[in-house]
Structure 1
Amino acid sequence: MTRVAFYGSSLLSSYWNGAATYYRGIIKAMAAQGYRVTFHEPDAFDRQSHRDIEVPDWAEVNVWPATPEGLAAAAAQAADADIVVKASGVGYADDEILRQVMAAARPDALRIFWDVDAPATLAEMRQNPNDALRRMLPDLDLILTYGGGDPVIRAYRELGARDCVPVYNALDPATHHPAPPQPRFQADLGFLANRLPDREARVAEFFLRPASALPGRQFILGGSGWQPEHLPGNIRCLGHVRTGDHNAFNCTPRAVLNVARDSMAATGFSPATRVFEAAGAGGCLITDYWEGIELFLKPDEEVLVARDGQDVADFLTNLPPERFGQIGQAALRRVLAEHTYDRRAEQLHRVLTDAAAKAKAAAPLRSEVAL
């Protein structure tokens, strides 16, 4: 069994951690492929008191103290792994985690940086020639990304990466699926997202503007960081919505909204986790436009694509009620057929197998350099 040491933000909590669903889906599917993953996450940002899941049977979890000593102890465990992964966006000592875990990795281990926010990571590396990741890129075996397509692949290679492969978000049908509607989620449009500066203007356009234009319609907003007193009166703020409630949230409103962060929309080919969660629940998704959406869902048949807030308002006003359900069911059929994490894990296994063979061939040279 291939042992993987995975250093990321959190597997157990989605609190201020948008990558949680992605990590869970990928790692669970990797376990089915024969990988034994230990997820190393710092005890930071109060995530452990907001756990969505307990330690699953498909992964081991090491919650380490967010201190220099805790980091050193966690990083040392990389020496036991065949594959060592450092994910972006841990939020605590990211550069130091990267340095220490890759230094601890065995010469024959596969060394991977897994980028769950490629636009931000690439921007930082371009601005800072001394960025820790940028300096280490030539020594890493592989870059995996949450999305981005050819533009991100080219950018990473131009900065010195040996290879870069997108592993897109997907659906775990066991956790995200149709569910009975819940009265507390009744609305014409639901939107689930933490408040982030990189999304503020687009949220104002695609969510707040339609709410203001349709005072007779009901809107619900889930996620952390929102201030109800600054929003239109027909928006109900729910605060943090636990992952276990996402299915009902996506099923209950007439439609649910996805709004990409500015950088993700500009990069394209970066479907948010929310896209597959909503489709997997059979919800009708309205998304802002970003390049590449048609690779995942067919506009007007499996998803509604809005160019601005007026489009969102027009969908809610002009489409017959049954149309929303038809679009949601079409999306569900598509993601079950093509966009499950099992499919992604099959792709990932092929990529890792090839990269591991190259890493083992380079192991003697690595040993000489280390000496």
Structure 2
Amino acid sequence: MQTKERVTDQAATAGFTWGYENGLRDGACEYLVRQLQPAAPAKRNCSVLYVPQGFEAIDQGVIEALRLTVREVYVAEPARMAEQASLVRPDWMLVLNGLHVFPADHLEQVDAVRSLGIRTAIWFADDPYVTADTMYIAPRYDAVLTHELSTIQMYRERGCAKVVYMPLAVDQMRFKPMTVEEKYRSDICFIGQAFWNRVEMFDAIAPYLKTRKVFIAGGLWDRMRSFKELKRFIRMGWLPVEESIRHYNGARIVINLHRTTETGKDNKNVLGLPGRSINPRTYEIAACGTLQLTDRREDLPHYYRPGAEIETFADAEELRAKLEYYLTHEDERRALALRGLRRTLVDHTYTRRLQQIAEVLGW
């Protein structure tokens, strides 16, 4: 039987180790963030009307980056974009996604804006999962930006004159390293909707997850065969962005598993286009200074170096093996996460992305 003194000593040792490891991480992250603060770009002599989709994590990052990039920025609700455009007469109207919250007369409003001589661009953030809609929306705009490689040729074939491959990015003022309370700490974290491919993956690694401190959040997780076994780890329903950021920061590893592109499986990818490009969550997790394990997408090596700035997996067996490896190799886990943070701050902020958009659209 352990003595009270021995238990106390063990607790003190564990507490010291925990504080030391987290102190190293927090200090290194703070150093990188301070060192890599970008200089404000020279503003373009251009005015832009921005129409948000309602994706909080993206819209605010784009708006703030626009304010650093162009002379004047206006923001309009989707239902009033033509009215606002006629009042402020911007040089360009930039629309995010054009889905879900946009009104039935969305495309008629775009036509009205173009009739005023105002150039229009749409940036699709949900490709290729909603091509049933986007293939009809895209031709009504002067320029189409998409983060998904597989849709570029499709938009050109639909008659779009200017189609640009434009990856998404991260709002580094929101998604950033921070010290969080114990309630946000976990070994393994996943935040997102339980699309069927995710259900299959998490069912496959459920025996391993039961041995770790896990946090899962999102809808439809009761689809899993192992839901009852993992229920204590799951927060059902939508998680506010600020809470997601805290959980990313508190996790030792965050899993990023892209949704399936298979037609009819929780998507409207009627053309059956493959998923070749990474999702915005890739940048958001990396910006929090946390190690990320993601499934492989074709364009990932253009944005992060697998095995050096981000880690990947191909199937459940490899995911389980890499979870175990990095949870037992703390120095390697922390170093890889810090390299991912550095790459994100240098190359993948919305400030950087809006500069690229300004170049290709001629602002």
User: What TM-score, normalized to structure 2?
Assistant: 0.74
Q: Match for residue 233 of structure 1?
A: 229
1:112 pairs, out of 108, 117, 121, with 121
Task: Report whether the alignment pairs 1:310 with 2:317.
Answer: yes
Indicate if the aligned counterparts of 1:148 and 1:269 stay in contact, CA closer than 8 A: yes
1:113 match: secondary structure = strand
Q: Match for residue 9 of structure 2?
A: none
Q: Deviations over 1:148-207 (max 9, x none)?
A: 13x322221111000111221223322211111332222221001134xxxx22212333
Q: Match for residue 143 of structure 2?
A: 142
> What is the CA RMSD across the aligned residues, in angstroms?
2.7
Q: Deviations over 1:49-81 (max 9, x none)?
A: xxxxxxxxxxxxxxxxxxxxxx3x553222233
1:291 match: secondary structure = coil
Q: Match for residue 209 of structure 1?
A: 204
1:305 match: secondary structure = strand
2:251 match: secondary structure = coil
Asked which structure has the greater CA Rg, the reply is 2
- Opposite residue 253 of structure 2, the aligned amino acid is A
* Inter-partner Cα distance in structure 2 for 1:93 and 1:334: 34
* Inter-partner Cα distance in structure 2 for 1:99 and 1:314: 53
- 1:256 Cα deviation from its structure 2 partner: 0.2
- Opposite residue 4 of structure 1, the aligned amino acid is V
1:254 match: secondary structure = strand
2:183 match: secondary structure = helix
1:120 match: secondary structure = coil
- Opposite residue 34 of structure 1, the aligned amino acid is V
* Inter-partner Cα distance in structure 2 for 1:343 and 1:160: 29
Task: Report whether the alignment pairs 1:222 with 2:217.
Answer: yes
- 1:93 Cα deviation from its structure 2 partner: 4.9
Q: After the TM superposition, which of the residue ranges 27-36 and 226-235 deviates more from structure 2? A: 226-235
Q: Match for residue 39 of structure 1?
A: 75
Indicate if the aligned counterparts of 1:256 and 1:278 stay in contact, CA closer than 8 A: yes
Percent sequence identity over matched residues? 24
Q: Deviations over 1:252-294 (max 9, x none)?
A: 1220011112229963442222111111111000111221111
Q: Match for residue 161 of structure 2?
A: 162
* Inter-partner Cα distance in structure 2 for 1:242 and 1:285: 20
* Inter-partner Cα distance in structure 2 for 1:215 and 1:110: 54
- 1:94 Cα deviation from its structure 2 partner: 4.7
* Inter-partner Cα distance in structure 1 for 2:95 and 2:107: 6
- 1:31 Cα deviation from its structure 2 partner: 1.0
Q: Match for residue 63 of structure 2?
A: 27
Q: Match for residue 45 of structure 1?
A: none
User: What TM-score, normalized to structure 1?
Assistant: 0.73
- Opposite residue 174 of structure 1, the aligned amino acid is M
Q: Match for residue 51 of structure 2?
A: 7
* Inter-partner Cα distance in structure 1 for 2:358 and 2:206: 45
- Opposite residue 8 of structure 1, the aligned amino acid is P
Q: Which runs of 5+ in 1 are unaligned?
A: 11-18, 43-70, 355-371
> 1:331 and 1:93, CA in 2 relative to 1: closer, same or farther beyond 3 A?
closer
- 1:98 Cα deviation from its structure 2 partner: 2.2
> 1:344 and 1:300, CA in 2 relative to 1: closer, same or farther beyond 3 A?
same
* Inter-partner Cα distance in structure 2 for 1:351 and 1:181: 40
1:77-156 map, 5 Å: 77-79=84-86, 80=88, 81-124=90-133, 131=136, 133=137, 137=139, 140-145=141-146, 147-149=147-149, 151-156=150-155
* Inter-partner Cα distance in structure 2 for 1:160 and 1:266: 18
Task: Report whether the alignment pairs 1:282 with 2:289.
Answer: yes
1:173 match: secondary structure = coil
* Inter-partner Cα distance in structure 1 for 2:259 and 2:71: 32
